[in-house]
Structure 1
Amino acid sequence: MPRIRSRLVGAAAVLVSLPLAVAPPVSASAVAPDYTIKVSPSADGAALSKQQYGVFFEDINYAADGGLYAELIRNRSFEFNATDASGFTGLTAWTTAGTATVVNDDQRLNDRNRNYLKLTGGVTNAGYNSGIALKKGDKYDFSVWARGDAALRVSVNLADGTALAAPITIAVAGDTWTKYTGTLRATATTDRGRLTVSTPGALRLDEISLFPRDTYKGRSNGLRRDLAEKVAALRPGFVRFPGGCLVNTGSMYSYDGAFNYPRARSYQWKDTVGPVETRATNKNFWGYNQSYGLGYYEYFQFSEDLGAMPLPVLPALVTGCGQNRATVDEALLQRHIQDALDLIEFANGPVTSTWGKLRARQGHPKPFGLTTVAIGNEENLPDAYWANFLKFEAAIKAKHPEITIVSNSGPDDQGGTFENLWAKNKANGTDMVDEHYYNSPSWFLQNNARYDSYDRNGPKVFLGEYASLDAKFYNSLAEAAYMTGLERNADVVKMASYAPLLANIDNVQWKPDLIWFDGDESWGSTSYQMQKLFMNNVGDRVVPSTVTGGGVVQPKPITGAIGLSTWRTAATYDDVKVTRPDGTVIFSDDFNDGNADGWTAVQPRGNWTVTSGGYAQTTTDTEDTMVKAATVTDTDYDYTLKATKQAGAEGFLVAFGIQGTGNFYWWNLGGWNNTQGAVEKGITSAKEQLITKPNSVNTGQTYDLKISVRGTKVTLYLDGVEWGGFDDNAVTEPFAQVVTTDAKTGELIVKVVNAQDKPAVTKIDMGGRRVAGTARMTVLAGDPGEQNTRTAEPILPVTSTIKGVSASFTREFPANSVTFLRIRTR
């Protein structure tokens, strides 16, 4: 039956300012401050742009179909198949009563909409999640393309048959494809509806749609209102779209009008514009089908509705995200380059131009005002990517010198690819470079000064994807501390966006995520609340400031269990040994006794067995297997072993410093389809890369591996030769701050992050300014282990007015908190 919840969503969701139960300003003479913030008398820091923060949308976690795109029918055009995901068919999400056959022949609706349904009887669609969400009294627009001569009955019901709207009947007539429409008005509120279409005769049907009339800003073929409004509440300065990994993965085919184009191709913007029934569906990189109902026109329209700059990402014909392939087809490359030029015409061209005319036909004669495009995403073949990027750049600049072109630096925050591409971009004078990284909270707290040393005259930075690797409030605190560094370096870091943006609670491929939703509700994570606080209070210019006092958290030596692992590879390990520097053996296993009694499964996956005096994992289709042994408490030790790849896609994973599931280091040799080596640090469900470099391993060859640990310093040896090393010795700084101005309101915005378990008494010296005696304070605070969920949102902003503000005053900032003070100057 209808689910009733007290939380309001959509337009009704507002933040209420409540009195804040915190201590009054602390007397400077009563308590010695832990920290002192000194604000410069002059507001002469970096200028902050309207595009300082934005959002990145990728169709991951069912973010488009079943998410932001408001269509309620899943597999509306019967195009699903096993290419999309195992078990998918043309009738996925449909149940039948009678005869229903998916047909692909020359009677199809059009060459891009391949399949249609031959129906005698009825079919029922349950939509996404638990069912179709309806709100009592709201209107829902039904449409279908049909041919034949028979009545078509349309109804929405619960699974038990309870009607949710008065049914409608449509008279279909004629053996040509015709679009038929009708309107249903919901008589109840539910998230478990079903749409049924039935006929007593025989009809051919395609593109069966049920769309809420109440979309964001009332757009037809529009967006789910509560989700779009949550994005709008962030006040983003830009929208990066449509990805992400789905942009530059799959086959690199470019649509040229032929019928037999492949599934699982890279994202092509021309597939996604024009009438929805003419848009080709495609396999999504993240393991499902994407209808392209949410396409480039809708992305541009959404950006305009948000008042945000559109930032499309185009494939460079070098795949990323672990695929690592580059095209050798020059004609194909030139077609993609022309596609980039055509996109600019679609966005900005006059209505008399080929692509400007299509934009006008879709309902937008006025140009969208595109100013920036990105070429590529996380390519891990830097030389191949760079060769293609230069060709895109030359062609675009020749015709559109006004367009800013964004390059990238690969998938990591450091390493060979990163350094290679940054060197190339600097030498080229590239407009902007896109950096991506997903790291631990400690990394963000250790790297606040990352951009302090960047070349002020080099390419500008677009931090297109970043997040701390979990969804707890502590992760959000670490991100907030890092954002103070982004703002302080706004002359270098011109744009930044957290990623990913959306996640369907029932279909998750990636965590963490900013906004979560099911069929009828949505809620912001703790990082959503943090991003919103920063994005709504950016300011115009940085006021230089310094902080003194407090302390830092020192790093810990790398101790813990040792481990063996594989990833889509069968491998054998032997002669495992852990010794102290003086040669004393801590642990040893040559497996000659025929057992592995000292080893336990960390991840109960794969098939581990002792065979021929070695310990083997024998499956080649299993990811992330791991066994461990010998918890090492010594801070200095050497871990040695022999490793042999027997079969499969990748190489070896040798773990050390294992503290628990998901928390470890591992040396990854032959990773990313046997193209890269790395050292990764596991944090909960994800990994932070400490070293990356090109690497492959040979099947059947035995390698001698040695990991030498000295406190926080690790040196790695491959066959007796030093392969690489790192020192995980960065200190953690739990207190961060930045000050900006708001010219419109005449306020200073003092932003303070206290990411530690104790309050921080802080003296704030306003640099001799005369200021109002009161200020508006907004605080996010709570248990660092908390997270916002569908049923509870413990981390929400609380705003109040405080007294006792002066040219120099002292404030106690709560433990585990972010505080924004808006102080009016006189």
Structure 2
Amino acid sequence: MNERGTLKVFTQERGAELGDLFGIFFEDLNHAADGGLYAELVQNRSFEFDPIDHSDYHALTAWGKVERGKGSAELTVEESAPFSERNKHYAVIEILSEGDGVGILNQGFNSGIPVKEGEAYMFSFYARRDSSFDVPVRIAVEGLDGIVHAAAEIAVCSDEWTKYEAVMTAKATDYSSRLVIVTKGSGKLYLDMVSLFPAKTFRDRPNGMREDIAAMIAELKPKFMRFPGGCLVHDGSLNADERNSMYRWKNTIGDIEQRPARRNNWRYNQTLGLGYYEYFLFCEDIGAKPIPILTAGYDPHHKRIVPLDELQPWIDDALDLIEFACGDSSTEWGGIRAGLGHPEPFGLEYIGIGNEEVGEPFFERYAYFHRAIKEKYPAIKIINSSGPFAAGGEYERGWNSARENRSDLVDEHYYQSPEWFLANYNRYDHFKVDEPKVFLGEYASWGNTYYNALVEAAFMTGLEKNAHAVGLACYAPMLCNVDYVNWKPDMIWFNNHEVYGTVNYYVQQLFMHHQGDHLLKIEARGFERPHAEPAASITGKLTLCTDLCSIQFRDVRLINDETGEIKCFEGLPEVLSDMQEDRLNGTAKRSMELGETDWDSYTLRFKAKKISGPKGFDVCFGKSDDKNQLIWEVGGWQNQDSMVVSKVDGRGSCLTQSLFTVETGIEYDFALEVSGRRIRTYVDGVLINDTEDKLPVIEAVYYSASSDRSTGDVIVKVVNVQEQSAAGQVVLEDLPKTPSMVEVIELSGYGLDEENDFESPKRIVPKRKELHPEANSFFYDFPGHSVTIFRVKKVLKQDRGRRNH
């Protein structure tokens, strides 16, 4: 039996305020909005899908022609006489022979239109026809076998666009139905904005949210919600009227018929039915502070840049958004909000400018936004950006911009291996209290297993203990439709009728429910740390490789920096070529092995010239196999970066990044310098990257403590990532009275590779129990691989009275 350690909580020694620390991030990727949180059941409801959204899309995507009996019809899409100038396409059903009815059907999302027995559904469409006004249009939800689950009839009695509505109640449960619209008669029937909503949405909002997904989000009790992204904020053209435009918030409010369809940069269509007004309502409904993120007029993906002398309208958009949220109804945008049905201000404390931007054009423009917002709305907290990397040149550029402009927060993003999170558990220990705070706007370890969630919990105790420097944090992404996966891991998974929370979800929920308001001083002593071997040097195989490029290498040398020994490589110069033509001809050569080294300190030098191709090349080193290695990516991601990446069990972590572009036809002198676990890269003698591949040193336990102002509870969190249990005593120093009860919420007893899924959505969930200590301390054995939360309940007078009797 291990000796017991002690966790001493100083219940009267308050530290930093935890504020709005833990919240959520919403981005419409993985069909998180359309086909997800947004409750609309019809896909491509306004016939606006287009190849610009996805190469396979067209105006009738998800639609099909219906011809029954001996019916015959022609189905086309026109735009000459639209209902809405912003959504010009509409369907035309020309009745050639009525038979038993002709028309159109919609397949919905996933397996089809889901309906549940006894539940009502709100149907609507805009329609007109040129004859047969007395012939009804039949609306039905039908199974794949043709059985009708719900139906209604509508008389389209005008040749002018008119909105028609009907309520249908399902007679059966079927998650693979079709919405079928048929009619008889003659002439043409014109349809647009065909919609089917569950009558029961979250909080019964019209144009509302899917109840089960929204409820699961609400059950997190987040302090804030960041929206609408993510990369979709800034990826697009500068013209707000173009379908391919950047995300412009003013396009997302008002009548849904007038909101233009948008290309979502995750390669699908975005209806914008879930827009800024709905975002603010949803934040209000779940008690989360809204954090909108706006573009600064710079698209780093395609180098689209608003000239500085044309920037004012973009700045005005930001100022107008604040007025939309905060202004009373006498203001222009406050009045517009009131006209939408919300006369009271939503309130707004935070606004973000930019998302993961890299490059000087963004930071030059950010300063203009910052000055204008602070001048008009000095109380608004403004969030700057530091790019999508945890360290490096652009990360430092972002922080320097934040310091110069006195930004309130800096948005940090990183997706890394669990090992990186453990190695960087104390990342924020030395951040200064008088500098901008960190908004950890996107983070996750690669995976939705119990191990991933356990490691994230350990890291989150570090976020709490550094509340002096970390102001906000949200796991990302939040939502994923299982049939439309753009990115994973994700916190909540769903199909068209089911939803479940991953283990990561339950860890986030634990930290949100038990955040507390102030840190409390806490000390750990006597816990046995696992034995840690000295960090090994980076040794192993070295390889040069390229992807879809042709690169010439020469003068490759490996130098022992301690002894001066030099290894030269014969057979050079060598051309690695992986162009499409080479792949088709079977002549592609992607890599060149350079052998391996066991030297502790070495430099790989070589000259390289790109002959053709869109990117650059990789230098793999410290390689034991393809899943475990380090990579210097030269000309990575759109040929913009020089990055050093660590791979552990196939899960990558970008250790550092700087901007660098490999120009065609220019020979560069490259050097990779490795000393122990320190890595430096040089191009033509200039230092480009400087980093350390830190190995995790496992703590005996990870812990934090806080106090809850509203309840008086003392909250203690303990994470044990070791396999063996940790015996401990929790000591509550200076607690005035013996607690009446200690509530214990714990995740434990699961295999590291276990996950929740649709078959077992609650396989891994926290369990609750009570302790009734007889003094201001108690013993507890923290199971191996566990997350434990104690809520020490305040003693109430009536509790004491009952004890005395």
Instruction: Judge same fold: TM > 0.5, yes or no.
Output: yes
The secondary structure found in structure 1 opposite 2:121 is strand
What per-residue deviation string (whole Å, max 9, x for no partner) do you get for residues 609-629 of structure 1? xxxx5332113999x997575
Give runs of aligned pairs for residues 689-700 of structure 1, distance below 5 A. 689-700=654-665
The secondary structure found in structure 2 opposite 1:156 is strand
Q: 1:63 aligns with which of 28, 32, 40?
A: 32
The secondary structure found in structure 1 opposite 2:217 is helix
The secondary structure found in structure 2 opposite 1:32 is coil
Give the match for residue 753 of structure 1. 719
Given that 1:469 and 1:684 are in contact with CA atoms closer than 8 Å, whether structure 2 keeps it comes out as: no
- Over the matched positions of the two proteins, sequence identity in percent amounts to 40
CA separation in 1, counterparts of 2:624 and 2:112? 41
CA separation in 2, counterparts of 1:684 and 1:325? 38
Give the match for residue 220 of structure 1. 206
Give runs of aligned pairs for residues 776-787 of structure 1, distance below 5 A. 776-781=743-748, 782-787=750-755
With over 3 angstroms needed to count, the CA separation of the structure-2 counterparts of 1:327 and 1:544, relative to structure 1, is same
Matched, 1:100 2:100: no
List runs of 5+ in structure 1 lacking aligned partners: 1-29, 255-260, 593-612
Give the match for residue 37 of structure 1. 7
- CA RMSD for the aligned pairs? 2.6
Give the match for residue 19 of structure 1. none
Given that 1:48 and 1:542 are in contact with CA atoms closer than 8 Å, whether structure 2 keeps it comes out as: yes
Question: Following TM superposition, by how much is the alpha carbon of 1:414 offset from its aligned partner in structure 2, in angstroms?
Answer: 1.6
Give the match for residue 169 of structure 1. 153
Matched, 1:436 2:413: yes
Give the match for residue 99 of structure 2. none
Give the match for residue 497 of structure 2. 520
Given that 2:747 and 2:767 are in contact with CA atoms closer than 8 Å, whether structure 1 keeps it comes out as: yes
Matched, 1:155 2:155: no
CA separation in 2, counterparts of 1:724 and 1:239? 34
Give the match for residue 123 of structure 2. 142
Given that 1:777 and 1:821 are in contact with CA atoms closer than 8 Å, whether structure 2 keeps it comes out as: yes
Give the match for residue 265 of structure 2. 285
Give runs of aligned pairs for residues 160-559 of structure 1, distance below 5 A. 160-165=145-150, 167-200=151-184, 201=186, 202-254=188-240, 261-320=241-300, 322-328=301-307, 330-331=309-310, 333-381=311-359, 383-548=360-525, 549-551=527-529, 553-554=532-533, 555-559=535-539
Give runs of aligned pairs for residues 698-709 of structure 1, distance below 5 A. 698-709=663-674
Matched, 1:616 2:577: yes
The secondary structure found in structure 2 opposite 1:40 is strand
List runs of 5+ in structure 2 lacking aligned partners: 67-72, 95-101, 796-805
Given that 1:573 and 1:616 are in contact with CA atoms closer than 8 Å, whether structure 2 keeps it comes out as: no
CA separation in 2, counterparts of 1:410 and 1:813? 38
Question: Following TM superposition, by how much is the alpha carbon of 1:463 offset from its aligned partner in structure 2, in angstroms?
Answer: 1.5
Given that 2:657 and 2:689 are in contact with CA atoms closer than 8 Å, whether structure 1 keeps it comes out as: no
Structure 2 counterpart of 1:157, which letter?
E
Matched, 1:738 2:707: no
CA separation in 2, counterparts of 1:660 and 1:154? 59
Give the match for residue 15 of structure 1. none
With over 3 angstroms needed to count, the CA separation of the structure-2 counterparts of 1:199 and 1:639, relative to structure 1, is farther
Question: Following TM superposition, by how much is the alpha carbon of 1:730 offset from its aligned partner in structure 2, in angstroms?
Answer: 4.6
The secondary structure found in structure 1 opposite 2:15 is coil
With over 3 angstroms needed to count, the CA separation of the structure-2 counterparts of 1:723 and 1:269, relative to structure 1, is closer
What per-residue deviation string (whole Å, max 9, x for no partner) do you get for residues 168-195 of structure 1? 2211122221111111211111210111
Given that 2:543 and 2:595 are in contact with CA atoms closer than 8 Å, whether structure 1 keeps it comes out as: no
Structure 1 counterpart of 2:3, which letter?
A
CA separation in 1, counterparts of 2:436 and 2:560? 47
CA separation in 1, counterparts of 2:570 and 2:220? 56
Given that 2:63 and 2:105 are in contact with CA atoms closer than 8 Å, whether structure 1 keeps it comes out as: yes
Question: Following TM superposition, by how much is the alpha carbon of 1:630 offset from its aligned partner in structure 2, in angstroms?
Answer: 6.7
CA separation in 2, counterparts of 1:189 and 1:328? 55
The secondary structure found in structure 2 opposite 1:357 is helix
Structure 2 counterpart of 1:362, which letter?
L
What per-residue deviation string (whole Å, max 9, x for no partner) do you get for residues 303-325 of structure 1? 000111111111111224x4454
The secondary structure found in structure 2 opposite 1:544 is strand
What per-residue deviation string (whole Å, max 9, x for no partner) do you get for residues 762-816 of structure 1? 2323224343374211111222222221112432101111355643443211111
CA separation in 2, counterparts of 1:717 and 1:587? 19
Give the match for residue 110 of structure 2. 129
Given that 2:294 and 2:318 are in contact with CA atoms closer than 8 Å, whether structure 1 keeps it comes out as: yes
The secondary structure found in structure 1 opposite 2:232 is coil
The secondary structure found in structure 1 opposite 2:148 is coil
CA separation in 1, counterparts of 2:589 and 2:371? 46
The secondary structure found in structure 2 opposite 1:343 is helix
With over 3 angstroms needed to count, the CA separation of the structure-2 counterparts of 1:591 and 1:134, relative to structure 1, is farther
Structure 1 counterpart of 2:244, which letter?
A
Given that 2:243 and 2:260 are in contact with CA atoms closer than 8 Å, whether structure 1 keeps it comes out as: no
What per-residue deviation string (whole Å, max 9, x for no partner) do you get for residues 200-220 of structure 1? 341111110011111101111
Give the match for residue 258 of structure 1. none
Which segment drifts farther, 777-786 or 545-554? 545-554
Given that 1:574 and 1:589 are in contact with CA atoms closer than 8 Å, whether structure 2 keeps it comes out as: no
CA separation in 1, counterparts of 2:659 and 2:371? 29
Structure 2 counterpart of 1:422, which letter?
W
Structure 1 counterpart of 2:481, which letter?
N
CA separation in 2, counterparts of 1:651 and 1:673? 9
What per-residue deviation string (whole Å, max 9, x for no partner) do you get for residues 60-119 of structure 1? 1110000000000011101111100111100111112331111122x1112211211111
CA separation in 1, counterparts of 2:711 and 2:743? 12
Give the match for residue 69 of structure 2. none
With over 3 angstroms needed to count, the CA separation of the structure-2 counterparts of 1:127 and 1:104, relative to structure 1, is same
Give the match for residue 599 of structure 1. none
Q: 1:109 aligns with which of 71, 75, 83?
A: 83
Give the match for residue 619 of structure 2. 654
With over 3 angstroms needed to count, the CA separation of the structure-2 counterparts of 1:326 and 1:740, relative to structure 1, is same
Structure 1 counterpart of 2:401, which letter?
K
With over 3 angstroms needed to count, the CA separation of the structure-2 counterparts of 1:809 and 1:131, relative to structure 1, is same
The secondary structure found in structure 2 opposite 1:397 is helix
CA separation in 1, counterparts of 2:541 and 2:568? 11
With over 3 angstroms needed to count, the CA separation of the structure-2 counterparts of 1:682 and 1:138, relative to structure 1, is same
Question: Following TM superposition, by how much is the alpha carbon of 1:717 offset from its aligned partner in structure 2, in angstroms?
Answer: 4.0
With over 3 angstroms needed to count, the CA separation of the structure-2 counterparts of 1:214 and 1:686, relative to structure 1, is farther
Question: Following TM superposition, by how much is the alpha carbon of 1:42 offset from its aligned partner in structure 2, in angstroms?
Answer: 2.3
Question: Following TM superposition, by how much is the alpha carbon of 1:418 offset from its aligned partner in structure 2, in angstroms?
Answer: 1.7
CA separation in 2, counterparts of 1:327 and 1:664? 41
Question: Following TM superposition, by how much is the alpha carbon of 1:551 offset from its aligned partner in structure 2, in angstroms?
Answer: 2.6
What per-residue deviation string (whole Å, max 9, x for no partner) do you get for residues 259-299 of structure 1? xx322211001111101110011111111110000000100
Given that 1:503 and 1:517 are in contact with CA atoms closer than 8 Å, whether structure 2 keeps it comes out as: yes
Question: Following TM superposition, by how much is the alpha carbon of 1:642 offset from its aligned partner in structure 2, in angstroms?
Answer: 4.7
Structure 1 counterpart of 2:629, which letter?
F
